[in-house]
Amino acid sequence: MATPLLSIRNLKTCFPTRAGLVTAVDGVDLDVYPGECLGIVGESGSGKSVTFASVIGLVRSPGYVAGGAIRFDGIDLRSLNADGRRGLRGRDIAMTMQDALTALNPALRVAEQIEEVLLAHAMDLPRKGRQEAARTRAIEMLRLVGIPAADKRIDDYPHQFSGGMRQRIMIAIALSCRPKLLIADEPTTALDVTIQAQVLDLIGDLRRELGMSVVLITHDLGVVAEHTDRVAVMYAGQVVETGRTRELIDRPRHPYTRGLIGLIPRLSNLDAPIRPIDGQVPELIGLGGICRFYDRCEFRSSLCRTDIPMEAVEPGHHARCIRAEENLQ
């Protein structure tokens, strides 16, 4: 395959708490290739958002990145100072947050929020008339993401838009400088299914039009199945399975992935029972020496009471399970 645009190796991110040190991300390895859409799936608390907040330097004290390597387009991100990372964010790497209403500043007009990013990062704006050029580009971006009457709505405040429109504005801000990588963190949260489909189709269209890579963070395997090229399944701070999307969904090799797929209703058999995954996600304090999914796994054995590495089960498909090569039923 091509050289990864983003390469993460053995990433570890911790948060001190009164109960102990929470290792929210523990030994994560991920690659994102040019032009692809990588899905990151897992239930709440699995470390999806923290992984990519660590990548772009948004983990704040007392949290910290405790170890690992992060390379983006040949640059060692962990070696950059705050100004260096700030220069990459918005220009080469952009991230849309989960809740557009709280992510957007309610006291600023939409125009100010898009223009701020352009004035800080856009290298192709002219020196003369830079403010006017930024406004023109901001209007173009709103039109690109499907905001009607963009030249008038650009001076509105976020609360004057619907949830779907605010999500589109977040995408417009993220894409305003034509980034190489877009990290879309739960871009369809709290949206109805029609607007969800529109937002996801929009991201896909813009990915093809701009030639950028996309990381789509979600808990919805249905979204992953339709919109991604590859998928990484996370559980309790670790990646437990990776592979090409269709292959992973058709032949999951980790019991947790099987459990997630079992929660999806089947249109072909609406009477089929949905089997929940019993148990709870373990507390991320003092873990080690045991498979993270051990207490919830129906296939567990005494051999699982150890740290289990990711192993290839076939080309391009890896799983963190000692029984990954078996046909578990």
Instruction: List, as one string, the DSSP characters of 80-91.
Output: --HHHHHHHBTT
154-209 residue pLDDT tens: 999 999 998 888 988 998 898 888 899 999 998 877 677 887 888 888 888 889 88
**Domain parsing of the chain, residue ranges:** 1-81+181-188+208-266+275-329, 93-178
Strands of the 6-17 sheet, one edge to the other = 20-32, 6-17, 64-72, 75-76
Instruction: Say yes or no to pLDDT of 22 above 80.
Output: yes
89-98 residue pLDDT tens: 888 999 988 7
- Say how far apart CA 247 and CA 245 lie, in whole Å: 5
The structure's pTM equals 0.91
Q: How confident is the model at residue 123 (pLDDT cuts 50, 70, 90)?
A: confident
CATH homologous superfamily for the domain 93-178: P-loop containing nucleotide triphosphate hydrolases (3.40.50.300)
The mean of the pLDDT values for the chain is 90
- Give yes or no for a contact between 127 and 161, defined as CB atoms under 8 angstroms apart: no
Assigned CATH for 1-81+181-188+208-266+275-329 = 3.40.50.300
pLDDT at 14: 96
- Say how far apart CA 39 and CA 184 lie, in whole Å: 10
Q: How many CA atoms lie within 13 A of 273 on its CB side?
A: 3
Task: At 296, give phi and psi (nearest 5°).
Answer: -110, 0
269-318 residue pLDDT tens: 777 777 888 888 888 998 877 899 999 998 998 889 888 999 999 999 99
Q: Same fold for the domain at 1-81+181-188+208-266+275-329 and the one at 93-178?
A: yes
- Say how far apart CA 286 and CA 261 lie, in whole Å: 29
- Say how far apart CA 213 and CA 38 lie, in whole Å: 8
